[in-house]
């Protein structure tokens, strides 16, 4: 039973996109850590949303799943009225750059219009009484565009998106900020670097290549492979979101990153080495699968985050080294081959064949 103190702490939190990769880790953290909160997971269950990711917490008393599409304004307004949410953590999005190149409008619909629908529903429900309310928008470092050999993205770096995905995320960030300035809606935005870890859909670099190595399929490296990303273990992102949600300053943004830059080809070679060990294959077997293919159009050369603001203000830093995180990730995929099989069947297979056809 909850005591008086915990009752007064009770909050109704709407988290969108909780059946996806990052969202499922955030949901798990909140459901387990805050039994006094009511956590609502709103997800349309697109190809990227998978309730298997949440099997361990789905029966918890403080967890409710709502199947809904953020593109449907009427449905979203009704849900806000029905459940009277206090705070929103918004992760639902189309999230894969290659898909955004193939179908940019889908990204405008979900990432821009879907975010607008949530902003409007929050504004309508909370009217002008924003006390103790919060719209926390989860964004990406890709909104800043690309870096040269040196420098880091800070919270004041100008937006300069290059892909339809990053343009749609930049647009949604601008609308969140504009609702803060124009209507007084309390918001926080965090812009994070590339995540990796368990439950990531195998279309992004690390899980795609783990899956391909298991199946002895080619590892399609775009261009010369000398593109740099700053990798962060997904649970460290969830911890940063928890901190920013509870202690972050409203009307501000936080950059979150791994202090962990890797050129794609070096990362892929490390992955191959660990996979050969884990699968008892002769060293060099997986590297033999590397195939350089035509570059991604508009491919950003380098991303790297300066996460000193969240470190100084909220005391956050990554807790897991890349070597530890990568090993945990590989072990998870090797121990969950059924999960991989389930998500790579059907529709995803069509996308895969289309993306890598030659």
Q: Which residues are catalytic?
A: 141-142, 165
Partner interacting with residue 227 (select from ligand NAD, ligand TYD, none; CB below 5-8 Å by kind): ligand TYD
The C-alpha atoms of residue 24 and residue 348 are separated, in whole angstroms, by 20
What is the separation, in whole angstroms, between the first and last Cα of the chain?
A: 61
Counted residue by residue, the chain has a size of 358
CB of 274 to ligand NAD, least distance (A): 20
- Pick between residue 123 and residue 237 the one whose CB is nearest to ligand NAD: 237
- Pick between residue 53 and residue 286 the one whose CB is nearest to ligand NAD: 53
The string over 42-53, giving b where at least 16 C-beta atoms fall within 10 Å of a residue's C-beta and e elsewhere, is bbbebbbbbeeb
Give bridge partners of residue 13 from the DSSP assignment. 39, 87
The C-alpha atoms of residue 226 and residue 220 are separated, in whole angstroms, by 13
The C-alpha atoms of residue 224 and residue 201 are separated, in whole angstroms, by 24
Partner interacting with residue 222 (select from ligand TYD, ligand NAD, none; CB below 5-8 Å by kind): ligand TYD
Partner interacting with residue 230 (select from ligand TYD, ligand NAD, none; CB below 5-8 Å by kind): none
CB of 16 to ligand NAD, least distance (A): 6
67 phi and psi, to 5 degrees? -85, 115
Q: Could you tell me the two tokens for 109?
A: 């619909």
Partner interacting with residue 22 (select from ligand TYD, ligand NAD, none; CB below 5-8 Å by kind): ligand NAD
- Pick between residue 195 and residue 212 the one whose CB is nearest to ligand NAD: 195
- Pick between residue 108 and residue 289 the one whose CB is nearest to ligand NAD: 108
The C-alpha atoms of residue 218 and residue 305 are separated, in whole angstroms, by 31
Binding site for ligand TYD (CB under 6 A): 97, 194, 204-205, 208, 220-222, 227, 229, 264, 296
Partner interacting with residue 202 (select from ligand TYD, ligand NAD, none; CB below 5-8 Å by kind): none
Burial class from Cβ neighbours inside 10 Å (0-12, 13-18, 19+) for residue 137 reads buried
Partner interacting with residue 97 (select from ligand NAD, ligand TYD, none; CB below 5-8 Å by kind): ligand TYD
3-state secondary structure of 248: coil
Binding site for ligand NAD (CB under 6 A): 16-17, 19-23, 43-46, 48-49, 69-71, 91-95, 110, 114, 138, 140, 169, 192, 194-195, 201
The C-alpha atoms of residue 261 and residue 273 are separated, in whole angstroms, by 19
The C-alpha atoms of residue 106 and residue 11 are separated, in whole angstroms, by 32
Q: What is the CA radius of gyration of the chain?
A: 20
- Pick between residue 192 and residue 271 the one whose CB is nearest to ligand NAD: 192
Half-sphere CA count of 94, side-chain side, radius 13 A: 25
- Pick between residue 14 and residue 272 the one whose CB is nearest to ligand NAD: 14
Partner interacting with residue 201 (select from ligand NAD, ligand TYD, none; CB below 5-8 Å by kind): ligand NAD
- Pick between residue 194 and residue 228 the one whose CB is nearest to ligand NAD: 194
C-beta separation of 81 from 125 below 8 A: yes
The C-alpha atoms of residue 40 and residue 63 are separated, in whole angstroms, by 6
- Tokens 């290549």 sit on residue: 209
């Amino acid at each position: 039973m909850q005591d008086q103190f915990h009752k007064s702490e009770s909050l109704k939190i709407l988290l969108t996109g909780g059946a996806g990769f990052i969202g499922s880790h955030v949901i798990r953290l909140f459901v387990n850590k805050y039994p006094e909160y009511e956590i609502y997971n709103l997800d349309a269950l697109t190809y990227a949303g998978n309730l298997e990711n949440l099997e361990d917490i789905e029966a918890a008393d403080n967890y409710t799943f709502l199947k809904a599409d953020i593109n449907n304004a009427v449905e979203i307004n009704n849900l806000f009225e029905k459940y009277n949410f206090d705070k929103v953590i918004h992760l639902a999005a189309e999230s894969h750059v290659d898909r955004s190149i193939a179908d940019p409008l889908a990204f405008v619909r979900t990432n821009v219009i879907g975010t607008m629908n949530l902003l409007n529903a929050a504004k309508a429900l909370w009217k002008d009484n924003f006390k103790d309310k919060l719209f926390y928008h989860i964004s990406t470092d890709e909104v800043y565009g690309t870096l040269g050999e040196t420098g880091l993205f800070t919270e004041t770096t100008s937006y300069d998106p290059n892909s339809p995905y990053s343009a749609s995320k930049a647009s949604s960030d601008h609308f969140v900020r504009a609702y803060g300035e124009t209507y007084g809606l309390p918001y926080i935005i965090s812009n994070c670097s590339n995540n990796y870890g368990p439950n990531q859909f195998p279309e992004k670099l690390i899980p795609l290549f783990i899956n391909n190595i298991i199946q002895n399929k080619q590892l399609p490296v775009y261009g010369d492979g000398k593109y740099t990303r700053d990798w962060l273990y997904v649970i460290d992102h969830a911890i940063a979101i928890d901190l920013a949600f509870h202690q972050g300053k409203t009307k501000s943004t936080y950059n979150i990153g791994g202090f962990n830059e890797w050129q794609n080809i070096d990362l892929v070679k490390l992955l191959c080495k660990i996979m050969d060990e884990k699968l008892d294959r002769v060293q060099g077997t997986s590297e033999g699968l590397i195939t350089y293919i035509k570059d991604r159009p508009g491919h950003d050369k380098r991303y790297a985050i300066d996460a000193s603001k969240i470190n100084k203000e909220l005391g956050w830093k990554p807790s897991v080294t890349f070597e530890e995180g990568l090993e945990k990730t590989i072990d998870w995929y090797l121990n969950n081959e059924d999960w991989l099989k389930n998500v790579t069947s059907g529709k995803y297979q069509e996308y895969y064949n289309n993306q890598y056809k030659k």
